């Protein structure tokens, strides 16, 4: 993915977006105009992710999710369903 990638206007769910690969992927997708639901266990703790969100207007949604918790996954599923991102 680079600056010459076509704008896709896709919607993504990135789990583990507070740092590392997830954070970088989130930044790249927002840069090309996509919408990202970015999750981490402790969303308050990621200043980097909040900084990335500032560049994206309303296209970056930061959500809490612990993939080791079934109820946490269900909350995310319900939310994305409400956004009509999943069928």
In the bound complex, what is the minimum distance in angstroms from residue 67's beta carbon to ligand NAP? 4
In the bound complex, what is the minimum distance in angstroms from residue 13's beta carbon to ligand NAP? 11
Per-residue x/- marks for ligand NAP, 52-81, CB under 6 A?
-------------xxxx-------------
Using a 10 angstrom Cβ sphere, with 0-12 exposed, 13-18 middle and 19 or more buried, the burial of residue 79 is middle
Nearest residue to 58 (alpha-carbon basis) of 37, 39, 44: 37
**Exactly one of 9, 10, 20, 51 binds ligand NAP (CB under 6 A); which one?**
20
Q: Residue 13, interface with ligand NAP (CB under 6 A)?
A: no
Helix locations, 1-87, DSSP H: 20-31, 47-54, 70-82
């Amino acid at each position: 993915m680079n600056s010459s990638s076509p704008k896709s206007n896709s919607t993504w769910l990135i789990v583990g977006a507070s740092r590392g690969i997830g954070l970088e992927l989130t930044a790249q997708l927002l840069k090309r105009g996509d919408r990202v639901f970015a999750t981490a266990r402790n969303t308050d703790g990621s200043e980097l992710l909040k900084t990335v969100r500032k560049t994206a207007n309303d296209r970056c949604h930061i959500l809490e999710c612990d993939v080791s918790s079934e109820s946490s996954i269900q909350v995310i599923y319900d939310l994305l369903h409400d956004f009509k991102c999943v069928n």
